[in-house]
Amino acid sequence: MSYNHGMQVAQAVDWVALSLGVVGGLALFLFGLQELTRALEASGRSGLRRVVQRVTRSRLRAALAGAVSTVVLQSSSLSTVLVVGFVSAGLVPLVQALAFILGANVGTTLTAQLVAFHVLDYGLLAAALGFLLRTLGRRRPGRHEALGLVGSALFGLGVLFHGLDLMSAATSPLRGSPDFAALLQSVSSPWAGLLAGAIFTAVVQSSSATTGLVIVLASQGLVSLELGIALILGANVGTCATALFASLGARADGRRAAFAHVLFNAAGALLATGFTPQIAHWLREAAVLLGASSPETLDTARWIAHAHTLFNLGNLVLFLPLLGPISALLNRVVQERPTPARAARTPLYLDASLVRSPELALAAVSRELPRLGELAALATERGLLAVTAGSRSELDGVLELEADLNALHTDVVAYLGRVAATSSGVKDARRVAELLEIANAIESVGDTLARHVVPLGYERIREGVTISPHTLELVQPLATDVAVAFRGALGALESGDAARARSVRAMKSGFRERSAAVRQHLAQRLAADAPQRVTTFRVESELLEQMRRIFDLSRRLARLVLARLEPEGASGDPGSPAGR
């Protein structure tokens, strides 16, 4: 099929001016899209958490959330990158994430529809009004923050439309160019149009830019309905590149979501491209039914936009019922990468793409903290065993666990710092401070082990000190209290169980009674005539003191958890580290 439009008047085309107009217009379009996206994302940031929660309920709601999010953010690539981050951070199940992506592809067709309805003439007016509102909002950021965001969004939308208008004006001489007619004839196959659209979109990283340019060319009579359909199908394939790049460092579920995005768009595009002539025929017939005088007089630009919307709706209808089997297939094909030997120190949930959305990023930190706590719990349990009777290699193993704990704690603190830098609300700042305090309380347990407990074990071995069986019998219940208290505080943190946190707080009196009994025993042993009694007493009494410190840190962690769960009801015990 040929796409020659029968241009009757040959005109000389200034290709330099035309290229500058197209490139400049495209640059303005992308800049405007970026400004619009930033403004809308900032205004909708507080609701993203609720959107994610709704996503997990059903596939249909997930698809609707994807469509709405993309209409708001004006970027299916951004929506898809965000959902890849959600899945990688464990915030969204894979099946619902796939439905979200299908919905996002439908939402992105709004830009093409707006362009097709000839709103480009109002671009400069919208940009000027938006700039005025944004300036007013920035002068008084507290009271007029919403006004500034509206202005930024309107400014971005106006610049976007003006960029398309510039491209339209720059390409108008092509209507009389035999050279351009020959170029269009060289793209005489729908498959060539598919490839061209995919490559251009992958380069500019925006399917909206591709569809906008295609519709501008169609409005000039330079692109036929068949070629326009092929180009926008290619744009749907090319937009997958952004999600693929975002998934390179993600966990397996994040990569599965990105690969599913490619599968949906590529499979649908390949299927539709084979029927491009038939689809164009059906659309012309539909145009006649809806009022066009003949198939040749339809508004090509508008029907290309309709084709874009119908294709993505068709993809949604086709793939939504199949998400279960597709998810199962992806789980088999895309495996988690082999973990390195020291994988415990590597964050699992701190996805960089979530930093721009503090609610989601803080939720990811909340999922990472129990991993930090598990390292501290293992180090505590092994350390309290090794210090009394373990070998040097067992003590070394405790220090290795503590090193992993330090590394993961560093990553958590750095991530929270990035979240704090991008958030502006008081609520977000308070939550960052709460999570930092919890992370530091957990890390303090590791510090206590590394600086005080493990050195006691090395000293015991070096000095040849032997802890008596009776002393071990008295110390063991204290070690159990420490382990139970710390595990209980971690369980309360992970499950949000306030009752469990309160039970840890209530362990104080029992621990003090057992500690007093051990101290009395140690004092009696010091009075006995035994070899190395002074050195033995110092090691044993220092161990008792460090166990008390870890127990207090466990109670402090429980208090911090209670403060998050019951801000008005959490209280501490004056005079103790746990209560301060």
Please write the tens of the pLDDT for every residue from 498-555.
Answer: 999 999 999 998 888 888 888 888 787 766 665 667 777 888 888 889 999 999 999 9
Residues 312 and 457 both lie in one domain: no
* Cβ count near 68 (within 10 Å): 18
* Cβ count near 445 (within 10 Å): 27
Residues 25 and 124 both lie in one domain: yes
Q: Which two tokens stand for residue 248?
A: 């390179």
Residues 328 and 358 both lie in one domain: no
- 260-296 burial by CB neighbour count: b if 16+ within 10 A, else e? bbebbbbebbeebbeebeebbeebbeebeeeebeeee
| Distances 558 to 410, 490, 496, 552, 568 between C-alpha atoms, Å | 22, 8, 11, 10, 15
Is 513 among the domain residues? yes
CATH at residue 426: 1.20.58.220
Is 458 among the domain residues? yes
CB 132 within 8 A of CB 83: no
Is 198 among the domain residues? yes
Is 112 among the domain residues? yes
From its phi and psi, is residue 205 left (phi > 0), alpha (psi between -120 and 50) or beta?
Answer: left
Residues 440 and 298 both lie in one domain: no
Q: Rounded CA gap, 148 and 58, in Å?
A: 35
Which pLDDT belongs to residue 287? Answer: 82
Domain that holds residue 385: 349-565
Is 4 among the domain residues? no
Report, in angstroms and rounded to the nearest whole number, the Rg of the chain calculated over CA atoms. 32
Is 338 among the domain residues? no
Residues 301 and 275 both lie in one domain: yes
The residue among 333, 366, 381 that closes a domain is: 333
Residues 51 and 121 both lie in one domain: yes
Longest dimension (CA), the chain: 117
The residue among 333, 367, 389 that closes a domain is: 333
pLDDT tens column, 152-205:
777 877 887 777 677 767 766 665 566 665 665 566 688 888 888 888 887 766
> What pTM value is reported for the model?
0.59
pLDDT tens series, the chain, 580 aa = 433 443 344 446 576 777 787 788 778 877 876 676 566 555 554 455 556 555 556 788 888 877 877 766 656 666 676 677 667 666 677 888 888 888 888 887 876 676 666 555 667 787 888 888 877 776 665 555 667 777 777 787 788 777 767 776 776 666 556 666 566 556 668 888 888 888 888 776 677 777 877 887 787 777 888 888 998 898 888 878 766 766 665 667 778 888 888 888 899 899 898 888 898 888 888 888 876 666 666 778 888 888 888 998 998 999 989 988 988 888 888 876 554 445 567 888 887 777 877 777 888 898 899 999 999 999 999 998 898 888 999 999 999 999 999 999 999 999 999 988 877 667 788 889 999 999 999 999 999 999 999 999 998 888 888 877 888 888 888 888 999 999 999 999 988 889 999 999 999 988 888 888 888 887 877 666 656 677 778 888 888 899 999 999 999 999 999 988 876 554 444 334 444 4
Residues near 544 by Cβ (< 8 Å), separated by ≥ 6? 475, 478, 515, 518, 519, 522
Residues 323 and 433 both lie in one domain: no
Residues 329 and 365 both lie in one domain: no
Question: For the chain, first and last CA: distance in Å?
Answer: 80
Q: Look up residue 301 and give its amino acid.
A: A
Residues 326 and 403 both lie in one domain: no
User: Which DSSP state fits 570?
Assistant: -
Q: Rounded CA gap, 200 and 219, in Å?
A: 20
The residue among 299, 333, 367 that closes a domain is: 333
Is 221 among the domain residues? yes
> Cα 105 to the chain's mean position, in Å?
18
Count of domains forming the chain: 2
Q: Which two tokens stand for residue 212?
A: 């906008």
Residues 488 and 519 both lie in one domain: yes
Residues near 122 by Cβ (< 8 Å), separated by ≥ 6? 158, 161
Residues 389 and 308 both lie in one domain: no
Residues 59 and 163 both lie in one domain: yes
Is 486 among the domain residues? yes
